[in-house]
Amino acid sequence: MASLTFRGCALCTVSLLNFAFVFISGADFIRFISFRAIYHNITGETTLCQDSIPWSEALRDTSVLKTLVVDVALLAVFIIQHSLLAWPPVKQACQSMLGSLNRTAYCFATALALQVLMHYWQPVTGAPCLWSVRQAPWSVWFPLFCFTVHFFCWAIICTVLMMFDYPELMGIKQVYYQCLGMGDPLSYKSSQTKRFFSHYRHPVCLEFGVVLWLLPALSLDRLIMALTMSVYLVLAQSLDKQDLAFLCEQLSGKVQLFIEATWNRDGDHKEK
């Protein structure tokens, strides 16, 4: 019994430490992908664009090409590891070896790949931007507009992740259930829910797409990132009519529960 208790404490410690690492990596990613890019343009004097250099010359510049090769390689590393660990044969093998820590390891690998991508990412400063808002007063107001939209998009993303059982998404729930001897929490979900989760891998595509593309200035390296991530998100989705019907049913049920709860609360206030 003592060994089981010690094992449970060890599993919980690993899971919570991983949660802290993933949380910090997520905050770093928000800063990297969104607010840092906007900060460079908040005064309209971005250093990312070299409009005086023609595209024909920029695309022959070896420094620009080397930078793009590094950035594409970093994106490839992230996408390959993220997809490989989600591939059913690899996922089953990891599950058999890691048990309840399988999801924890998946989140750790994703966060680590993001840290590598952010740390070694190289901006292209020797080429023109695809677009750049520099004319007053839009050189000030448009970055502020982008900042506001990005803030709300990230708020929606975080809210949706919380709605999709965040403890289970981070691997904490699996360890908790294991320590209580309750097995895999996914086994308690309906077959429709399991099917929907297997198809709906990235529930925040629209908001993340807005964050990727809505910027005061779009540099060449950001174009590569936005295009690659957008294509990856679209290809990773496999929703069908049955999934959409299930989603509409769930949303309708939640709305109905909210209306009933609001109605009951108002009725209680009137009685008092």
Domain ranges of the chain: 2-238, 240-272
Q: What is the mean pLDDT of residues 203-210?
A: 78
**For residue 177, how far is the Cα from the chain centroid?**
25
What is the predicted pLDDT for the residue at 55? 83
Tokens linked to 14: 């690993």
Half-sphere exposure of 159 (CA within 13 A, CB side): 7
For 123, counting Cβ atoms within 10 Å of its Cβ (0-12 exposed, 13-18 middle, 19+ buried), the class is: middle
Burial of 5 (0-12, 13-18, 19+ CB in 10 A): exposed
Structure confidence at residue 44 as a pLDDT band (50, 70, 90): very low
State the pLDDT at residue 249: 67
> Do the beta carbons of residue 111 and residue 25 sit within 8 Å?
yes
pTM tops 0.75: yes
- pLDDT tens-place string over residues 242-271: 655 666 666 666 667 767 667 766 555 555
What is the three-class DSSP state of 240? coil
